[in-house]
């Protein structure tokens, strides 16, 4: 596409030429007879220098009056300059103000999280937020790329569903032509069906959790990638997860150095993310916790301090598998060696970022699934279609789900999940 203006990201290929930029005034410093005008256009930022001796009086006054976040069109000469962080500067020849902004709320000074969240629609323009969401985009692209290279087909799961996936978790309810419907909390069961149709599949869909969780790790609306593969057993499932995580980290390190620098992310821990990841059993994890001084009984589920103790013992993500049947979902395949545990795994990220993936081999035996449903008091009628998958050409199959926002937090080194998505939906918060 041929445009009559250039993007800042491409500025390096226009050195020595006069170009037009369209964007916003990010920041300004002035020194009497010279203005330093920081422009941004979404692709990057560049400093424009406007000297009084080099422009006419009207232009210089425009430079003096232009305010933070005014939309502008600027024409100038591109130069290389060692003093500029990006290596390039613009000698401004003319400036047109498309709209003069008055009293932009987010100043270059400090602000609290409540104020910034009230102004999330504007906060997105700030460099840190901009960088994190660009990394998010790269992560999403890397995931799509990985699955397609591995022969997975994207089969979206529905968001409006007639029943709860796992029954226990709180769901958002809505009205569907007079019938109750629920916003999906996972696409997993639906892609077990598409996996039987296409072999290897994934879905990249929002998931909704109405739990009253109020921490820096929780959203009520989050994005999940669920993958499912026919004929994959527990070991292949973990291998696939490991491959995906490595591909994502590698891609971000390759494409997002500037963003990681803006985020002040230490990339050394990320450079170490290479397979194979350690694999320990739930039993070993319990022993590890108790040895580390974080008490836990065999049979209890891990809490936040246990996550930290487990993940803190490794410099790569770690799989914990073979959880007691009692603390996991009804559809997980029991371990043939020890039916009191299931062939399910959680993957913990490094540096205390917690669980990012949960996966398991699913029960493929019809009678066993029916028995487990009865034990867990899962009603048959709404799940008849799910049981059918075990009735018509059932095969061993496995899958997993990865939380996008937690992955973004981990890779970007963010301290709060609200910065990992443009418009976070948190407990009782839905503005803007």
Partner RNA sequence: UCCAGCGUAGCUCAAUGGUAGAGCUCCCGGCUGUUAACCGGGUUGUUGGAGGUUCGAGCCCUCCCGCUGGAGCCA
Which residues of this protein are in contact with RNA, per CB under 7 A? Answer: 27, 29-34, 36, 47, 49, 51-53, 67-68, 81, 83-85, 89, 103, 105, 107-115, 117, 168-169, 186, 209, 211-220, 222, 224, 301, 303-305, 307, 327, 354-358, 401-403, 405-406, 416-418, 428-429
Nearer to RNA, 279 or 425 (CB): 425
Please give the Cα distance from 238 to 82 (Å, whole number): 48
Nearer to RNA, 240 or 394 (CB): 240
Nearer to RNA, 68 or 267 (CB): 68
Q: Smallest gap, in angstroms, from Cβ of residue 234 to RNA?
A: 17
Please give the Cα distance from 314 to 349 (Å, whole number): 9
Q: Smallest gap, in angstroms, from Cβ of residue 178 to RNA?
A: 28
Q: For the beta carbon of residue 114, count every other beta carbon within 10 angstroms.
A: 8
Nearer to RNA, 254 or 295 (CB): 295
Q: Smallest gap, in angstroms, from Cβ of residue 48 to RNA?
A: 10
- Backbone angles phi and psi of 340, in degrees to 5: -80, -10
Please give the Cα distance from 304 to 414 (Å, whole number): 17
Q: Which pair of structure tokens corresponds to residue 345?
A: 């795994």
Q: Smallest gap, in angstroms, from Cβ of residue 112 to RNA?
A: 3
Q: Smallest gap, in angstroms, from Cβ of residue 398 to RNA?
A: 15
Q: Smallest gap, in angstroms, from Cβ of residue 392 to RNA?
A: 27
Q: Smallest gap, in angstroms, from Cβ of residue 39 to RNA?
A: 13
Nearer to RNA, 272 or 429 (CB): 429
Nearer to RNA, 99 or 107 (CB): 107
- Does residue 132 sit in helix, strand or coil? helix
The H or E element containing residue 270 is helix 268-271
Please give the Cα distance from 66 to 125 (Å, whole number): 18
Nearer to RNA, 155 or 186 (CB): 186
Instruction: Identify whether 160 is preceded by a cis peptide bond (ω within 30 of 0).
Output: no
DSSP for 52-114, please give it.
Answer: GGGS-HHHHHHHHH--TT-EEEEEEEEEE-TTSTTSEEEEEEEEEEEE-----S--SS---HH
Helices (H), 93-174: 113-118, 120-123, 127-149
Q: Given 3-state DSSP classes, what are the helix, strand and coil percentages for the chain, each rounded to the nearest 5?
A: 35, 30, 40
């Amino acid at each position: 596409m041929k445009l009559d203006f250039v993007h800042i990201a491409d500025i390096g290929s226009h050195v020595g030429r006069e170009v037009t930029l369209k964007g916003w005034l990010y920041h300004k410093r002035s020194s009497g007879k010279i203005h330093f005008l920081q422009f941004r256009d979404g692709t990057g930022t560049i400093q424009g220098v406007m000297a009084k001796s080099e422009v006419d009086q009207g232009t210089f006054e425009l430079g003096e009056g232009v305010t933070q976040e005014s939309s502008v069109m600027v024409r100038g000469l591109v130069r290389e300059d060692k003093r500029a962080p990006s290596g390039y500067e613009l000698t401004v020849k003319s400036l047109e103000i498309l709209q003069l902004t008055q009293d932009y709320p987010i100043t270059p000074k400090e602000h609290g999280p409540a104020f910034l969240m009230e102004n999330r629609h504007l906060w997105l323009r700030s460099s840190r937020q901009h960088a994190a969401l660009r990394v998010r985009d790269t992560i999403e692209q890397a995931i799509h790329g990985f699955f397609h290279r591995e022969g997975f087909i994207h089969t979206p799961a529905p968001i409006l569903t007639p029943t709860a996936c796992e029954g226990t978790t709180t769901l958002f309810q809505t009205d569907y032509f007079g019938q109750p419907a629920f916003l999906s909390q996972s696409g997993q069961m639906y892609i077990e069906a598409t996996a039987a149709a296409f072999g290897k599949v994934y879905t990249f869909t929002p998931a909704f959790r109405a739990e009253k969780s109020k921490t820096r790790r929780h959203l009520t609306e989050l994005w999940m990638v669920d993958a499912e593969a026919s004929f994959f057993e527990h070991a292949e499932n973990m291998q696939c997860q490991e491959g995906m995580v490595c591909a994502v980290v590698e891609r971000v390190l390759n494409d997002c150095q500037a963003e990681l620098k803006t985020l002040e992310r230490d990339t050394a821990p990320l450079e170490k993310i290479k397979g194979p990841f350690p694999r320990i059993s739930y039993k070993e994890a319990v022993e590890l916790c108790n040895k580390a001084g974080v008490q836990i009984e065999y049979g209890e589920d891990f809490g936040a301090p246990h996550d930290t103790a487990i993940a803190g013992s490794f410099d790569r993500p770690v799989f914990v598998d073979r959880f007691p049947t009692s603390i996991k979902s009804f559809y997980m395949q029991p371990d043939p060696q020890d039916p009191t545990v299931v062939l399910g795994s959680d993957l913990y990220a490094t540096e205390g970022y917690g669980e990012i993936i949960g996966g398991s081999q699913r029960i493929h035996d019809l009678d066993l699934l029916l028995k487990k449903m009865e034990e867990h008091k899962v009603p048959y009628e709404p799940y008849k279609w799910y049981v059918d998958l075990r009735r018509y050409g059932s095969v061993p199959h496995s899958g997993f789900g990865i939380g996008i926002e937690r992955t973004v937090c981990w890779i970007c080194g963010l301290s709060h999940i609200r910065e990992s998505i443009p418009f976070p939906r948190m407990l009782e918060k839905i503005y803007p």
